[in-house]
């Protein structure tokens, strides 16, 4: 297929094919019950459209579904990332706890300051993750949050 060279022939082809496309779209809609719509622009920028039930309703529905899909993907992605961050934080807190807090070594002022800085960083990360989730936490993920909170509370004692 290639562009029709003659402007008159292109205009005639556009008109005939537009009619056939409209018939096929209507047939598709009738057979499947699907909402169907299309928009065509001539080279002179004149719009032509078809929609079942109407092009406006098809476009509105498309925008609504796209927006909902986009928001859902963003929400799911945020939650997934937040839960991964929770799990990473829980593992870091556990490793820190095993390495530094369960140690039998005597604690000096420098080590205590070091542990306090770690605790503050963990707490800050936990608060940030909580804000990202906005309290919408599935039950299976709540365990991770609880473990991190308990570990951080133990560390602050």
Q: The tokens 């018939």 sit on which residue? A: 23
Q: In the prediction, which pLDDT does 154 show?
A: 64
Q: Map residue 98 onto helix, strand or coil.
A: helix
pLDDT band at 142 (very low <50, low <70, confident <90, very high): low
Q: 73, 68, 79, 71: which is closest to 137 by C-alpha?
A: 79
Choose the weakest-confidence range: 26-35, 39-48, 83-92. Answer: 83-92
Q: Where are the domains of the chain?
A: 7-53, 77-156
Q: Which helix (H) or strand (E) holds 52?
A: strand 47-52
The CATH homologous superfamily for domain 7-53 is: Transcription factor, MADS-box (3.40.1810.10)
Per residue in 34-64, pLDDT tens?
999 999 998 888 999 999 999 999 888 888 8
- Please give the model's pTM, rounded to 2 decimal places: 0.43
pLDDT band at 103 (very low <50, low <70, confident <90, very high): low
Q: In the prediction, which pLDDT does 36 show?
A: 94
Taking 60 as the threshold, does the pLDDT of residue 124 lie above it? Answer: yes
C-alpha 145/C-alpha 14 separation (Å) is 61
pLDDT band at 132 (very low <50, low <70, confident <90, very high): low
């Amino acid at each position: 297929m290639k562009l029709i060279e003659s402007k008159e022939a292109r205009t005639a082809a556009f008109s005939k094919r537009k009619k056939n496309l409209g018939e096929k779209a209507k047939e598709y809609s009738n057979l499947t019950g699907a909402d169907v719509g299309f928009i065509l622009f001539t080279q002179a920028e004149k719009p032509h459209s078809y929609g079942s039930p109407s092009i406006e309703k098809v476009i509105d529905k498309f925008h609504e579904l796209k927006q909902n899909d986009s928001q859902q993907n963003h929400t799911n992605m945020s939650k997934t990332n937040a839960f991964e961050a929770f799990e990473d934080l829980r593992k870091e807190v556990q490793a820190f706890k095993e390495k530094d807090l369960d140690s039998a070594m005597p604690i000096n002022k420098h080590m205590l300051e070091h542990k306090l800085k770690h605790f503050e960083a963990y707490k800050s990360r936990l608060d940030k993750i909580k804000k990202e989730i906005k309290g919408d936490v599935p039950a299976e993920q709540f365990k991770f949050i609880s473990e991190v909170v308990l570990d951080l509370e133990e560390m602050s004692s």
